[in-house]
C-alpha cells in the first residue's frame, strides 16, 4: 500500500510554494514523523514530516513550484518489514549461517540482485539522462541495491580518465577568472527568487507607494537600562531561566507610548481610520530565508520574563523554518533592531498596513552634555518611520519622546507615567 505525500494547506492566501529541499533521497526508508522536505511559501518556510513509515518514491524535484494539494511523493508502507527484518535476532541468523555456510552467500545474492535500469525512479532516471552516467555501472545504495538519484549525482562527480588529445597550435589564452568556493569560476550566477523574498519585495514597494512615509529621529541614553540589567540579571536568570535583554524594555516602552499616544495605534482602511485597542507588537527577526515579523500578543498584560521568553521562542521557530502563519498576523506596530548587525542609523520601512515602525541601532559610547558637563554615555539612535496620512508630526515626535523617557527612566514603566 502506498500513501501519497501531498502539499498541505498553509492558509487561505497561499495557493502554491517552492519545494525548497528534500531531506531524504529517493528510495530511502523513512520513519513516521521524520522530516522529509522543506516548503517555502511567500509568507513562511516550514518542514513536512512523513505520515507513515516506508520507502519513499520522490515525484517532484527540489526547487520546483508546487500547488497546495499536489502529490510530491509516495511512501510504500508494505516495505515496513524491511527495516525490522534487518534487525532480526542475531542468534537465529548465526544458527542458520552455521547450518548452511555455502548456500547463504548464493541466496543473499539471488535476493538482492536487481536490474538497476528497470528499478530507476523518475528522479534518478532524469539525473542519469542529464549527466550521461550509465546506471548499470553505478553501485546502488538504496533498498535492495537500487540506484538512487544521489548515487547518479555522486558518480557524475567522480573524475574520468584523461584521454590524450591531438596536438593543436598554441593560442593566446584569455586571462582566467580566479575560481573561488563561492562562484566556482563563474562571473555570474543566477537563481530563482524565493516566494518569501518576492513577498518581502512586494510589501516594501507597497509600503512606499501606498503610505506617505516620513521618519523622525531621537537618541536615548542607555545607562539606566544597562545598570538595571546588571543589577538584576543574576536573580532574573535564576528565577526565569533566561536572560533579561534590551528588547523587552523597548517592547514595554512601545506599549507605554501606544497607550499615551493612541493615534499611532491605528490603521487606514479605505476612507476609514480603525483605532486598535490592543497591543500586539511585531519583532523583526532576520533568517537565512529573509525577514520575518512574529507578533508578541497582549504586551500590555505581560511582564519582562514573558516577553523575553516569547522573543526567544519565536526567533528559534523562525530560524528553524517552523513558524506558523498565525504567529505572523495581526500586529499593530513593529520593532526592528538593526543594531545587532552594527547599524548606526537607518530609516526603516513600515510593515504595511501598520502605521509605524521603530528602528533600534547599535549602542556606542559618545560624549554628551549632562548638567553642563561633558560625560561619556552609552547612546543609541532611535528612528520612527510613520504614515503621515494618519500620524501628524506632533504625535510622532511625542510618541518617540515617550519611548526615550521610558528607557532613560525605566521606573516610568512601573507607574505608567
Residue keyed to cell 494547506: 9
The active-site residue out of 23, 240, 280, 388 is 388
Tell me, yes or no, if 256 is annotated catalytic.
no
* Residue among 8, 5, 54 nearest 31 (CA): 54
Rounded Cα–Cα distance for residues 206 and 139 (Å): 54
Phi–psi pair at 98, nearest 5 degrees: -70, -35
Instruction: Say if CB 40 and CB 20 are below 8 A apart.
Output: yes
388 is catalytic: yes
Residue among 63, 298, 392, 409 flagged as catalytic: 392
User: Which residues are designated catalytic?
Assistant: 388, 392
Amino acid at each position: 500500500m502506498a500513501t501519497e505525500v501531498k502539499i498541505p494547506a498553509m492558509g487561505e492566501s497561499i495557493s502554491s510554494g517552492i519545494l525548497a529541499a528534500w531531506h531524504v533521497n529517493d528510495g530511502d526508508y523513512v520513519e513516521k514523523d521524520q522530516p522529509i522536505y522543506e516548503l517555502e511559501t511567500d509568507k513562511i518556510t516550514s518542514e513536512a514530516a512523513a505520515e507513515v513509515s516506508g520507502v519513499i518514491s520522490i515525484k517532484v524535484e527540489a526547487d520546483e513550484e508546487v500547488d497546495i494539494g499536489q502529490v510530491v511523493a509516495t511512501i510504500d508502507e508494505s516495505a515496513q518489514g524491511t527495516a525490522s527484518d534487518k534487525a532480526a535476532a542475531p542468534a537465529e541468523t548465526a544458527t542458520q549461517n552455521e547450518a548452511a555456510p555455502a548456500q547463504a552467500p548464493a541466496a543473499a545474492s539471488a535476493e538482492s540482485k536487481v536490474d538497476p535500469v528497470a528499478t530507476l525512479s523518475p528522479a534518478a532516471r532524469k539525473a542519469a539522462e542529464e549527466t550521461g552516467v550509465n546506471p548499470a555501472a553505478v553501485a546502488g545504495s538504496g533498498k535492495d541495491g537500487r540506484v538512487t538519484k544521489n548515487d547518479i549525482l555522486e558518480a557524475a562527480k567522480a573524475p574520468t580518465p584523461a584521454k590524450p588529445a591531438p596536438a593543436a597550435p598554441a593560442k593566446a589564452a584569455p586571462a582566467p577568472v580566479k575560481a573561488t568556493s563561492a562562484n566556482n569560476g563563474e562571473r555570474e550566477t543566477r537563481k530563482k527568487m524565493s516566494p518569501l523574498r518576492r513577498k518581502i519585495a512586494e510589501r516594501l514597494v507597497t509600503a512606499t507607494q501606498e503610505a506617505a512615509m516620513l521618519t523622525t529621529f531621537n537618541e536615548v541614553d542607555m545607562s539606566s537600562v544597562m545598570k538595571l540589567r546588571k543589577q538584576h540579571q543574576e536573580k532574573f536568570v535564576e528565577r526565569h531561566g533566561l536572560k533579561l535583554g534590551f528588547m523587552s524594555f523597548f517592547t514595554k516602552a512601545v506599549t507605554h507610548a501606544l497607550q499615551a499616544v493612541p493615534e499611532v495605534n491605528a490603521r487606514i482602511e479605505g476612507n476609514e481610520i480603525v483605532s486598535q485597542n490592543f497591543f500586539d507588537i511585531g519583532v523583526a527577526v532576520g533568517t537565512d530565508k529573509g525577514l520575518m515579523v512574529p507578533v508578541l500578543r497582549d504586551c500590555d498584560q505581560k511582564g519582562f520574563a514573558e516577553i523575553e521568553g516569547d522573543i526567544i521562542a519565536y526567533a528559534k521557530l523562525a530560524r528553524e523554518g517552523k513558524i506558523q502563519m498565525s504567529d505572523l498576523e495581526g500586529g499593530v506596530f513593529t520593532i526592528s533592531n538593526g543594531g545587532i548587525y552594527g547599524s548606526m542609523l537607518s530609516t526603516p520601512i513600515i510593515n504595511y498596513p501598520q502605521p509605524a515602525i521603530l528602528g533600534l541601532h547599535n549602542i556606542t559610547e559618545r560624549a554628551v552634555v549632562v548638567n553642563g558637563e561633558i560625560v561619556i554615555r552609552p547612546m543609541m539612535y532611535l528612528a520612527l518611520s510613520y504614515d503621515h496620512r494618519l500620524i501628524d508630526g506632533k504625535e510622532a515626535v511625542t510618541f518617540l519622546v515617550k519611548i526615550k523617557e521610558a528607557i532613560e527612566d525605566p521606573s516610568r514603566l512601573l507607574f505608567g507615567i
